[in-house]
Structure 1
Amino acid sequence: MTSLVLVERRDGVQWITINRAERRNAINEEVIRLLGEGIDAAVADRACRAIVLTGAGDKAFCAGGDLQKNADGNPFGVDYSRPQHYMVELFKRIQNCTLPIIARVNGHALAGGFGLLCACDMAVAADDIRIGAPESRIGMTPMTILPHMLRVIPARRLQEICITGEQFTAQEALDWGIVNYVVPRAQLDEKLDWLLARVTSASPTAVRLGKQTFNAIRDLSLRDALEYSQTMFAAMASTEDAQEGRASFVDKRAPHYTGR
């Protein structure tokens, strides 16, 4: 049986692909579980430097929850014996992930797929895709993905997106800061490789601690953020990577980071 999620290591980068092209890479509980396992495996391996999240085929990055009548798993179902929805569990794993997660947006990103895009740290998108949160068209609102959307999209623009349910273009996503780069589809992987080369050449320790600090101080007051950041700065300065970075600068040579 073909896995619903493909996990592949490519030159220190963990590629995680939602493998349901025939369903526009729609997600259900099993897909969410496998995505989480792929992320956890990457974080546990010190040799891994980044994660790429994408979808199979060229039609959809992810079309959100699987709403077909014969779908496995109900994205709107609530199990009151569990403290949180499985989608929220995945978002928390993404939030706590210490590796950079880059969305390779190879197709439409809708509803929960839009949420996954916003949850990633960076995104490269093909120029012919559409993005949107169409939940209002079926009597819902994008509750579970809203926290990540609020951190990426300006408030007034987000209200319009959520209330109207209208889709928008990759160029508009770039203009609003939702994606980092938009390129012709034929150049998508070339641009992604360019970004990955820049990301993976950085100190793994600096990236891990930097991500932790970035995510933490967004939820703090200015006073608490300043206190937290200076503590993390002291911790980072004592790492082997920081010492190597300073030494390579003085010696005018390329650094050799160990990730420690």
Structure 2
Amino acid sequence: MSEPVLIERRGAVQWIIINREERRNALNEEVVRTIDRGIAEAVSGNEVRAIVITGAGDKAFCAGADLAKNTKGFAFAVDFARPKHYIVDLFKRLQECTLPVIARVNGHVMAGGFGLLCACDLAVAADDIRIGTTEAKIGVTPMMILPYMMRVLPARRLQEMCITGEPFTAHEALAWGVVNYVVPRAELDAKLDWLLARILDKSPTAIRLGKQAFNAMRDMSLREALEYAQVMVPVMSSTEDAKEGMAAFQEKRPARFTGN
């Protein structure tokens, strides 16, 4: 029996592939916890510079929670003795992840899969996909993923999605800022490689501190964000990568970043 999630190291990139093509790469507890472990593993060392999350095949990136009653971790089952849901653990892991996380959107994205997409930092999508929050069609609302969707989508578009449960296109996702790039399916991996190349030659330390600052400031008032920024500037400039970057600029040579 194949593994439900494949974790592969490809050079400096950690690939996390939801490997349930027959279930449209739906999520259950085992899948979510394995994705969580894959991210934690990538962050634990200095070898990985970026993470790619995608689905197996070309039909679905992720169809959301697995609604099969005989599936371990059935979508809406709750253990009241353990009130924290496993999807919350994953979203917190993504929020705290210091590596860039890129969604390779190879197929349709529905329900909880859309929450996973919104929790990634960047996204490249094939132009023939559909994206939606279909929960209203089965009598619920996308409660668990709503916090991330609210950070990415315009409010009225999000309300329309949640109320109607109808999907939208990749080009609409691009116009609304849900994905960074939309390309013909045959060009998906080439565009992903292009984006990764623009990341892997940059300072890991700058990206790490930048992600930390971005997530922190987003939850602050303007006054708090400015106070935080002026504290972080000397911290950032004291790193080895910052010193190397300035030296390389002055010496007109490529920087040799170490992530320190």
Partner of 1:38: 38
Distance 1:124 1:190 in 2: 10
Partner of 1:146: 146
Distance 2:153 2:202 in 1: 27
User: SS where residue 3 of structure 1 aligns?
Assistant: coil
| AA matched with 2:106 | N
**Is it true that 1:180 corresponds to 2:162 in the alignment?**
no
TM-score (norm 2): 0.99
CA offsets per residue over residues 115-141 of structure 1, 9 Å max, x none?
A: 000000000000000000000111100
Distance 1:172 1:213 in 2: 29
Partner of 2:78: 78
Q: Gaps (5+ residues) in structure 2?
A: none
Distance 2:71 2:30 in 1: 11
Distance 1:226 1:200 in 2: 29
Partner of 1:57: 57
CA offsets per residue over residues 5-24 of structure 1, 9 Å max, x none?
A: 00001110000000000000
Distance 1:76 1:229 in 2: 41
Q: Gaps (5+ residues) in structure 1?
A: none
CA offsets per residue over residues 38-67 of structure 1, 9 Å max, x none?
A: 000000021100000000000000000001
Partner of 2:246: 246
Could you tell me the percent identity over the aligned residues? 69
Distance 1:56 1:232 in 2: 40
TM-score (norm 1): 0.99
Cα drift, residue 181 of structure 1: 0.2
CA offsets per residue over residues 124-160 of structure 1, 9 Å max, x none?
A: 0000000000001111000110111011001111111
Distance 2:116 2:9 in 1: 20
Counterparts of 1:1-260 in structure 2 under 5 Å?
A: 1-260=1-260
Distance 1:251 1:17 in 2: 42
User: SS where residue 71 of structure 1 aligns?
Assistant: coil
Count of paired positions: 260
| AA matched with 1:181 | Y
Cα drift, residue 190 of structure 1: 0.1
Distance 2:81 2:223 in 1: 39
Distance 1:108 1:71 in 2: 21
| AA matched with 2:215 | N
Distance 2:37 2:6 in 1: 11
User: SS where residue 57 of structure 1 aligns?
Assistant: coil
| AA matched with 2:110 | L
Q: 2:68, 2:74 within 8 Å by CA — same for their partners in 1?
A: no
User: SS where residue 173 of structure 2 aligns?
Assistant: helix
